[in-house]
Amino acid sequence: MTNWIEISTGYSGKLGKSAATKGRWQPYLFLGITTNLVFWLLAFCYLQFTSPTYTSKSAINLPGAGSNANVNLPGIGQASYENSSPYSYSSTQDPRENYKFIAGSEPVLKVASAQLNMSLEEFGKPRIKVLDNTTIIEVQFQGKSPEEAQNKSVAFYKALEARLNELRIQEALKKDLGIQTSLNSSKRKLQTAQKRLSNYKASSGLNSEEQIKELTTNIEELRRQKAEILAQQQQANTRLQQLSANLKLSAQQATQAFVLQSDQIFQHNLKDYSEASASLAVLESKFLPDHPQIIAEKDKRDMALKALLERGKYLLKEPVTLAFLNQLNLSSNNNGNTAQESLFQQVVTVQADQKGLTSQAHALEKQITQLETRLKNLAQQESNLDALKRDMQVAEAVFSTTLTRLDIGKSNAFGSYPFMQIVNEPSLPVEPSYPKKEYVYIGATVGSILLTSGIFLLSLRARHQQKE
């Protein structure tokens, strides 16, 4: 009996101990189930009542290639233009960061929000990310609906492009103002140089280098002509000497003889004198010197001689003597000596040619002297003309180069603000970017596991403390 009671008592002790242990676990189990239910309920409520947010993604590219242009100006020079890559200025300067700052600036966002009739707070700010080692900028806009997110991105790009154009116009105006000032200055210098050159040409009579070349050519041509005339003159002198030797007369005597021989009155007087002299010689051989016929014939001869000498003086413009006339060996016959007359005529012709050639040579010499003097003066003036031309060419080069720079600068509107290329158009999101169900479920699951683990560890600690 006693043993049964002991056994019974021991069994009932075990049951009490088990019940006590179970009683200690129940609060922790209840706490774990309750907290997990609350945790998951909150997660489901969050998914149910949180408004979804959609994100429209896009990307823009800022090309990094540079450009250049060279313009050749014939006879003036060369104008060059170079647009360096926006990434080549400095290793610490990135134009994408500039665009990132401009894109997030208030003027751009105000214009973009005004396009959608939104306030600046409702429109929000974009998320802009610069991708390393690329020329790409990533842009994201959030909206309450897919269409709103996409419309925000489109309005943003329109406003950004408009702002960049404003900045480009402002930059171009300032550059044009500076270049225009330089252009006006170079234009005034060019006009001054042109005026000085034209005034100098008008006062000096020298217009171009071709004028000096033509003058030099003319002088050389005149010298050649003079050499030819001198050669012809030498030939005439030789011919005249030869004719004089044949006639045994000097050139002047031959000319005088030709003049007398050609005059009919002189020839008639010479004939009368010759006939009277011949008749007198016959009479003197027959009669005494005081014979009346001889006296009469002498008077006739003397009268013919007097007329002959007077006519010769008239023709030759100088006194002549009978001895001089005899030296000329003139013929009293009208028909004369044909060969002798021909020689006389040749002498006169050659002598006339000689005088003409001499006159031409003197005229050419005088003309050459005048042209050489003019050439010397023009050569001295040419240095001044060249200096004025160089000044004008430099002024033209500066003016043309400045004008070309102005024109090229107008064609380059992307100096400090390179053009923007949209490589990814704003997307129309299909699923909301916030909240993400999978992320909420994963978070709730991880939270449940951590919470349950914590409660379990807490219960173990409490049990360990009771055993002690």
The answer to the question of residue 5 being in a domain is no
Whether residues 106 and 162 share a domain: the answer is: yes
What pLDDT does residue 138 have? 93
pLDDT for the residue numbered 63: 77
Q: Give residue-wise pLDDT tens across range 137-183.
A: 999 998 888 998 899 999 999 999 999 888 888 887 887 777 777 77
Q: Kindly state whether residues 166 and 229 are assigned to the same domain.
A: no
Residue 333 domain flag: yes
> Which H or E element spans position 228?
helix 209-247
Q: Which residues contact 412 (CB under 8 A, 6 or more apart)?
A: 67, 81, 83
Alpha-carbon gap, residue 84 to 174, rounded angstroms: 19
Same domain, 188 and 219: no
- 33 SS3 class: helix
Measured in degrees and rounded to the nearest 5, phi and psi for residue 421 equal: -115, 120
SS3 72: strand
Domain closes at, from 298, 327, 351: 351
Query: Which residue has tokens 């009739």?
Result: 117
> pLDDT (tens digit, 9 = 90+) per residue, 121-139?
889 889 999 888 888 999 9
User: Interhelix angle for 251-262 vs 209-247, to 10°?
Assistant: 70
Q: What does the mean pLDDT of the chain come to?
A: 76
Is the pTM for the entire model greater than 0.85? no
Q: Are 271 and 341 contained in the same domain?
A: yes
Q: Do 159 and 121 have their domain in common?
A: yes
Does 345 lie in the same domain as 310?
A: yes
**pLDDT at 83 > cutoff 60:** no
Residue 189 predicted with pLDDT over 80: yes
What is the DSSP code (8-state) at residue 93?
-
Q: Looking up tokens 């060279």, which residue turns up?
A: 70
Is 170 part of a structural domain of the chain? yes
Q: State the pLDDT confidence band at 3, using cuts at 50, 70 and 90.
A: very low
Token pair of 446 as six digits: 């991880």
Q: What is the pLDDT of residue 8?
A: 40
Rounded Cα–Cα distance for residues 125 and 128 (Å): 9
Q: Which of 55, 56, 53 is nearest to 422 (CA)?
A: 56
Judged by average pLDDT, the poorest of 5-19, 80-94, 216-230 is 5-19
CA distance 423 to 61: 6
Q: How far is CA 432 from CA 44, 46, 190, 451, in A?
A: 17, 14, 69, 29
Same domain for 306 and 226? Answer: yes
Confidence category of residue 272, pLDDT binned at 50, 70, 90 = confident
Of 430, 450, 446, the C-alpha closest to 438 is: 446
Question: Taken in order 289, 290, 291, 297, is the CA torsion positive or negative?
Answer: positive
The sheet carrying 136-143 orders its strands as 127-130, 136-143, 54-61, 421-424
Distance CA 149, CA 131 (A): 22
Give the CA distances from residue 247 to residues 197, 244, 257, 348, in Å, rounded to whole numbers and listed in that order: 67, 5, 10, 13
In a domain, 67, yes or no: yes
- Give strand pairing partners of 70: 80
Domain end (from 320, 335, 351)? 351
Matching residue, tokens 């709103």: 148
CB-facing half-sphere around the CA of 336: CA atoms within 13 A: 21
- Is pLDDT at 4 greater than 50 in this prediction? no
Does some domain include residue 274?
yes
Contact 138, 129 (CB under 8 A): yes
Residue 57, pLDDT score: 92
d(CA 279, CA 399): 105
Query: At 321, phi and psi to the nearest 5?
Result: -125, 165
> Does residue 439 fall inside a structural domain?
no
State the Cα–Cα distance between residues 441 and 404, nearest whole angstrom.
67
Number of domains into which the chain is organized? 2
Residue (of 449, 451, 453, 445) closest to 40 by Cα position: 445
Q: Is residue 159 part of a domain?
A: yes
- Which range of 35-49, 149-163, 285-299 scores highest in mean pLDDT? It is 149-163
Contact (Cβ atoms closer than 8 angstroms) between residue 32 and residue 452 = yes
Residues 238, 171 share a domain: no
Query: Does 1 have pLDDT greater than 50?
Result: no
Same domain, 225 and 323: yes
Q: Indicate whether 250 and 156 sit together in one domain.
A: no
Alpha-helical (H) ranges within 248-291 are: 251-262, 264-286
Residue 345 lies in a domain: yes
d(CA 291, CA 220): 78
Torsional sign, CA 367, 371, 372, 374: positive
Q: How far apart are CA 279 and CA 273, in angstroms?
A: 10
Show the domain range for 131: 61-197+396-424
For the stretch 217-265, pLDDT in tens is 888 888 888 888 888 877 777 776 676 666 666 666 666 777 777 778 8
Q: Residue 129: which of 228, 73, 59 has the closest Cα?
A: 59
Q: Give strand ranges (E) for 221-376.
A: none
Residues 344 and 404 in one domain: no
The one-character DSSP state at 132 is: T
Tell me, yes or no, whether 178 and 133 share the same domain: yes
Cβ neighbours for 408, distance < 8 A, ≥ 6 positions apart = 69, 71, 79, 81
* 73 within 8 A of 400, measured Cβ to Cβ: yes
pLDDT at res. 36:
79
Task: Quick: pLDDT tens for 378-429.
Answer: 777 767 777 777 887 787 787 777 777 666 656 555 667 787 888 889 999 8
In angstroms, the CA 371 to CA 369 distance is: 5
